[in-house]
């Protein structure tokens, strides 16, 4: 993973040209924990400018399962009970873990160990790493195919996407893509994968049957996050330098809309119903909510002051989960009310997040 511009805030870890992250210590923001965040009156700002106070932490009804957060500078994985929003385990991982994905049956989680050039396979029943699989250099984003049989890994240091066969935990293909891919997404039908290439300003379109790049789409100055709508019609791509999200027509290969969201958008996730896209925006410390029908920001959710660094986001029907690198926290948002309902202290420089079914 590589940012060609080379300028980031001091609270973020620096990246070198090989895509490896220098392990510069990040300190949590002084006093930023669950109690202070809830007591500080963080608000949800709708497009009309209306706001609402954040209530005390509550449990979302029906939000069972586990949430997994990689802690980049601790070399650990935090395991969170989604019903209580409490950390129940901290698991040693490889060096500088970044992306994480959870199997459809919830039995395994897959962790991209950026500094170890491997994927670690976690048995979620025992919270033990049971297998490590070598991939390309500086793996970052990971995503599972809809049938759960393939894991796609964006290797920022080798300009490739590894395809891992999950039943055997073996790499079956390595697909050349653009420069410094950061993240990867898969269409709901499983036929197409998309890799966001930060170094070449493009998105690589991969045919998952042939394991070949079949198209290269322009995606702005520095595309880092990518998500696909459930109907497969559009890809939402964060352009970190341009402070916007590009909407790319998956069939036409053209940018159909550009949505300004604030300085430093990093990750994006589309809701299961396809109506909203959630964008983690580093600079102002908020999550932008995009109405996918009108391609406009319909609301912003404040998760902390500048320096909190909301980084990656995962969405379920019950919750929106956002990692904050600067604060060392995970914020939980109710997608129906757009209110912050919990802030969970995790490890040092939390990066990836995934929720089990």
Tell me which residue has tokens 């990246």: 15
What burial class does residue 168 get, using C-beta atoms within 10 Å of its C-beta: 0-12 exposed, 13-18 middle, 19+ buried? exposed
Mean pLDDT score of the chain: 85
Tell me which residue has tokens 């297998």: 131
What percent of the chain has a predicted confidence (pLDDT) above 90?
80
* Contact indicator for 187, 205 with CB cutoff of 8 Å: no
In the 8-state DSSP scheme, what is residue 261? -
**Coil, helix or strand at residue 37:** helix
CA distance 24 to 301: 29
Q: Which is more confident, 55 or 319?
A: 319
pLDDT surpasses 90 at 1: no
The full DSSP string for 43-66 is BEEETTS---B--S----TT--SE
**Average pLDDT value for residue range 242-250:** 94
pLDDT surpasses 70 at 195: yes
Tell me which residue has tokens 């998309």: 194
Nearest in space to 155 (alpha carbons), one of 96, 116, 114: 114
Q: What is the pLDDT of residue 121?
A: 98
* Per-residue CA distances from 252 to 55, 217, 233, 238 (Å): 44, 9, 9, 19
Q: What is the pLDDT of residue 23?
A: 33
- pLDDT class of 172 with cuts at 50, 70, 90: very high
Tens digit of pLDDT for each residue in 137-168? 999 999 999 999 999 999 999 999 999 999 99
CA distance 240 to 266: 6
Q: What is the pLDDT of residue 251?
A: 83
Tokens of 347: 């490890």
In the 8-state DSSP scheme, what is residue 276? E
């Amino acid at each position: 993973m590589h940012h060609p511009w080379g300028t980031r805030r001091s609270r973020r870890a620096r990246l070198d040209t090989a895509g490896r992250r220098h392990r510069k210590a990040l300190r949590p923001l002084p006093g930023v924990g669950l109690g202070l965040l809830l007591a500080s009156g963080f608000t949800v700002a709708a497009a009309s400018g209306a706001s609402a106070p954040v209530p005390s932490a509550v449990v979302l009804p029906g939000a069972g399962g586990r949430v997994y957060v990689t802690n980049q500078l601790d070399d650990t994985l935090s395991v969170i009970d989604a019903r209580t929003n409490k950390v129940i385990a901290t698991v040693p991982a490889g060096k500088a873990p970044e992306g994480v994905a959870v199997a459809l049956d919830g039995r395994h989680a897959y962790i991209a160990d950026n500094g170890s050039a491997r994927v670690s396979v976690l048995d979620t029943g025992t919270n033990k790493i049971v297998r490590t699989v070598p991939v390309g250099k500086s793996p970052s984003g990971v995503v599972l195919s809809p049938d759960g049989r393939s894991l796609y890994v964006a290797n920022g240091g080798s300009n490739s996407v590894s395809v891992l066969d999950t039943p055997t935990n073996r790499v079956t293909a390595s697909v050349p893509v653009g420069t410094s891919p950061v993240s990867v997404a898969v269409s709901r039908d499983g036929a197409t994968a998309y890799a966001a290439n930060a170094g070449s300003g493009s998105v690589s379109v991969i045919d998952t049957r042939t394991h070949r790049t079949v198209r290269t789409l322009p995606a702005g100055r520095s595309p880092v996050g990518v998500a696909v709508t459930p109907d497969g019609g559009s890809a939402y791509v964060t352009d970190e330098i341009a402070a916007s999200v590009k909407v790319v027509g998956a069939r036409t290969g053209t940018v159909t809309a550009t949505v300004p969201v604030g300085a430093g958008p990093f990750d994006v996730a589309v809701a299961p119903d396809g109506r909203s896209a959630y964008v983690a925006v580093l600079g102002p410390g908020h999550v932008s909510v995009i109405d996918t029908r009108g391609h406009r920001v319909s609301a912003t959710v404040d998760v902390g002051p500048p320096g909190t660094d909301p980084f990656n986001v995962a969405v379920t029907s019950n919750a929106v989960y956002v990692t904050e690198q600067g604060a060392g926290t995970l914020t939980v948002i109710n997608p129906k009310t757009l209110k912050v309902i919990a802030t969970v202290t995790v490890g040092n420089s939390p990066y990836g997040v995934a929720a089990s079914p």
